[in-house]
């Protein structure tokens, strides 16, 4: 099992680099995960998507489908891929601390 060291905190990652424990996520962890996903800096636009994903997951227990992300955030798919080059599932959900999505996200 992989680990990510963020300051004094060491977090466990699964084989795909997603957090093993959603509860250990912090903004510092998000920044460290972003660096692993070729996102050098988290901007206000990134945080809008990250906070949306976390709120959605808190409410429904799953990541939203891309269609839902587009509708709710106002970002089109092109913008989401500009913000998160690995895509909404692998990149955005990972940085937001969500479990690895299953199916279409």
Q: Given 85, 88, 104, 105, which residue is catalytic?
A: 104
Q: Between the CA of residue 36 and those of 17, 31, 33, 40, 99, what are the distances in Å? A: 9, 9, 5, 9, 16
Helix axes 44-60, 66-73, angle to 10 degrees: 120
Over pLDDT 70: what percentage of the chain? 97
Q: What is the mean pLDDT of the chain?
A: 93
Domain containing 50 — which CATH number? Answer: 1.10.10.370
Q: What is the pLDDT of residues 40-83, one digit of tens each?
A: 999 999 999 999 999 999 999 999 999 999 999 999 999 999 99
Position 105 in a domain? no
Instruction: Name the burial class of residue 24, with classes exposed (0-12), middle (13-18) and buried (19+) by CB atoms within 10 angstroms of its CB.
Output: middle
pLDDT greater than 80 at residue 12: yes
Position 16 in a domain? yes
What confidence score (pLDDT) does residue 49 get? 97
Residue 65: domain span:
2-95
Position 101 in a domain? no
Rg of the Cα atoms in the chain: 13
Q: How many domains does the chain have?
A: 1
Position 77 in a domain? yes
Position 100 in a domain? no
Position 103 in a domain? no
**Helix, coil or strand: residue 58:** helix
Whether 104 is catalytic is yes
The pTM of this model reads: 0.92
């Amino acid at each position: 099992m992989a680990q990510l060291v963020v300051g004094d905190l060491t977090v466990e990652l699964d084989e795909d680099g997603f957090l093993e424990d959603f509860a250990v996520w912090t903004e510092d962890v998000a920044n460290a995960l972003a660096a692993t996903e070729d996102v050098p800096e988290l901007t206000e636009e990134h945080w809008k998507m990250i906070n949306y994903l976390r709120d959605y997951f808190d409410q429904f227990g799953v990541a939203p489908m891309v269609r839902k992300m587009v509708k709710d955030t106002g970002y089109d798919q092109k913008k989401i891929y500009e913000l998160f080059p690995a895509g909404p599932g692998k990149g955005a959900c990972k940085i937001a601390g969500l479990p690895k999505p299953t199916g279409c996200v």
